[in-house]
Amino acid sequence: MTKTIIADGVLIKRYLEGNQAAFETLLKRHKMRIFTSVLNIVNDHYLAEDIFQEMFVKIIHSIRAGKYNHEDKFLPWALRIARNMAIDLLRQKKRLPTVVDSEGNDIFEHLNIFDKSQEELHIEADEISMLRSWIRRLPEEQREVLVLRNYADLSFKEIAEITNTNINTCIGRMHYAVINLRKMMEKSSVRVK
């Protein structure tokens, strides 16, 4: 039996008609992609939680005020709001992002929580942290395009709208991101699987 997926636009209409479960479905559907995108852009779990919460409160208010007119393009709209909030918050905090896990611990510490040998843990942590550090070291605008295209799976047109630029600028940033990541990969002994 195939399960029918209800379109985002329909869920939002149902929510406006008083169906709370429709909103919950919308949240559950998109929370991973939105949260992971935000986290990879800001590189701070606590900040990502703040942004995610504030973003959805803003979304709720906008929907209730009749300001949602994006039909089934909920994800690009949401990511645009999240991205603008991320920029504002980062400017306010004026600090370099660090990578923390959900407990607030630096990922380079606390690696001995699994039943593996120390060597295996170091290799695994090295690979994970190496991948994260490569992405983290990219300039913000390159990292943003990389995350939104390769993870959130938005088109370059949608990314251009979200970032208030044009498509050629976005493609150019992706190109530089690829060049920079390749350079980092080549310098590293860790190979991409």
Partner 1 sequence: MTRNITENDLILYFYSETTSEISSFITANLDKNPSWVVLLDSLKEVKSLEFTNSFPSTTTEHIILEESNIIEKISHS
* Candidate list 8, 56, 75, 144; residue touching partner 1; CB under 8 A: 56
Residue 103 φ/ψ, nearest 5 degrees: -90, 0
Binding flag, residue 62, partner 1 (CB under 8 A): no
Smallest separation, CB 158 to partner 1 (Å): 10
> Which amino acid is present at 161?
E
CA distances from 157 to 45, 48, 78, 165, 175 (A): 28, 25, 15, 9, 16
Judge contact between 11 and 22, C-beta under 8 A: yes
Host H or E run for residue 88: helix 74-93
* Candidate list 5, 7, 24, 166; residue touching partner 1; CB under 8 A: 24
Instruction: Identify residues 77-106 at the interface with partner 1 (CB under 8 A).
Output: 102
Binding flag, residue 60, partner 1 (CB under 8 A): yes
Q: Which structure tokens are listed for 118?
A: 């120390």
Residues near partner 1, by CB under 8 A: 15, 18, 20, 23-24, 27, 31-32, 35-36, 39-40, 45, 48-49, 52-53, 56-57, 60-61, 64, 102, 128, 131-132, 134-135, 146-147, 149-151, 155-157, 168, 171-172, 174-175, 177-179, 181-182, 185, 192-193
